[in-house]
Chain A
Amino acid sequence: MKEPIRNKKMQIAALALACAVLLFAGGCATTSGSSSTAAMKIAESERSIDAARHDCVQNASDLRNAELKLTQARAALDAQDYLNAAWRAEEATADANYARTKAAQEQAEQDAEHLQKSNARLKNGLNDAKSY
């Protein structure tokens, strides 16, 4: 009679242990982030920074923020602070994307300005031709 009770107790203890492990793992995933997510986000930010580096040759200062955040993300990953690593990597990606978009904005505005100047010159040419 004592044996089945002991078995049942052990089953309950095992179940409790499994629940505890699951809750602990779940807690780690939500509050501390996972190493794979952090590594994935770091890889994404590296790609964004490379792309921005390619596009923002003349405006490298905007990229400094992104590179600094990436360094912080890598350090946090090494320290196994996965949530911090993922957040810093997300910020690095946002910084790189902003640097890239800003460079494209400056280019588009410069193009419009050049065309405006060229049109002004042409208008003058037309007026001169009329006066002949």
Chain B
Amino acid sequence: MTVKMHTLSGYGLILCLALIFSGCAASQQELMARDHLANARTAYNQAKADPTVEANAPMPLMDAGKTLEAAEQARDFYEMDHLAYMAERETQIATALARITVARQKSGELRRENDQMIEKLDARARSTVDPEADKREDRAKAEEERRQRTPQHD
């Protein structure tokens, strides 16, 4: 009888420990999910406040917002964790896409400036080698314009 009682109390202890550990695991999952959700929300709010992201990657940012909403309404902490992770990544991708657009626009402007300066430097170099070259070019241009203005008689 005593042996049976001991065995039963042993099982009871194991059951209690198992329940405690499963409870800990669940609360750890909850902590992790809530932490990821907070990170995702911070990243999204920062991106939303950045006018370059809103202007240059509106669709990816909107998708990230939808995923974040879904994470906030998740059925359980496993789903919340997954959706929060996805929302954070989508926000980072939207921000990176916006930065790419801004950098490419800047490169375009710089390239035009670059071409103009190269042209000026070329012109300077030509006039240094042959000071009359510019004048000849101007005269040729004026002659061409005059010819175009004069009506043609066949």
B85 touches A91 (CB 8 A): yes
Which A residues lie within 8 Å of B104 (CB)? 108, 112
Q: Does B110 contact A (CB under 8 A)?
A: yes
Is A112 touching B106 in the complex (CB atoms < 8 A)?
yes
Smallest CB separation, A38 vs chain B (Å): 13
Residue ranges of A at the interface with B (Cβ–Cβ < 8 Å): 87, 90-91, 94-95, 97-98, 101-102, 104-105, 108-109, 111-112, 115-116, 118-119, 122-123, 125-126, 129, 132
How far in angstroms is the closest Cβ of chain B from A56?
12
Q: Is the CB of A90 within 8 A of B86?
A: yes
Question: For this complex, into which size category does the number of interface residues on chain B fall?
Answer: 20 to 34
CB-based contact A115/B96 at 8 Å: no
A98 touches B92 (CB 8 A): yes
8 A-B pairs with C-beta separation under 8 A: A94-B86, A102-B96, A108-B100, A112-B104, A115-B107, A119-B114, A122-B121, A126-B120
Residues on B with C-beta less than 8 A from A116 are: 110
A-contacting residues, B91-119, CB 8 Å: 92-93, 96-97, 99-100, 103-104, 106-107, 110-111, 113-114, 117-118
Rounded to whole angstroms, the CA-CA distance of A112 and B102 in the bound complex is: 10
Q: How far is the CB of A84 from chain B (nearest CB, A)?
A: 8
Known A-B contacts A101-B97, A104-B96, A105-B96; the reply to A122 vs B114 at CB < 8 A is yes
**Shortest beta-carbon distance from A62 to chain B in Å:** 11
How far apart are the CA atoms of A39 and B121 in the complex, in Å?
Answer: 61
Cβ-defined partner of B107 (8 Å) among A87, A112, A122, A129: A112
Give the docked Cα–Cα distance between A118 and B96 (Å): 25
B85 cross-chain contacts in A, Cβ below 8 A = 91, 94
B37-60 Cβ-contact flags toward A at 8 Å (1 or 0): 000000000000000000000000
Q: Is B34 interfacial (CB-CB < 8 Å)?
A: no
CA A87 – CA B121 in complex, angstroms? 58
Could you say which residues of chain A place their CB within 8 Å of the CB of B89? Answer: 91, 94-95, 97-98
Q: Report whether A119 and B110 are in contact in the complex, using a CB–CB cutoff of 8 Å.
A: yes
Per a CB cutoff under 8 Å, which of B96, B103, B110, B121 touches A129? B121
Contact residue among B93, B118, B120, B128 (Cβ-Cβ distance under 8 Å from A98): B93
Q: Which residues of A contact B113 (CB under 8 A)?
A: 119
Write the B2-35 contact mask toward A (1 if CB under 8 angstroms, else 0): 0000000000000000000000000000000000
- When distances are taken between beta carbons in the complex, the residues of chain B under 8 Å from A87 are 82
Q: Is the CB of A122 within 8 A of B118?
A: yes
Instruction: With A105-B96, A129-B124 as known contacts, state yes or no: A115 contacts B114, CB within 8 Å.
Output: yes
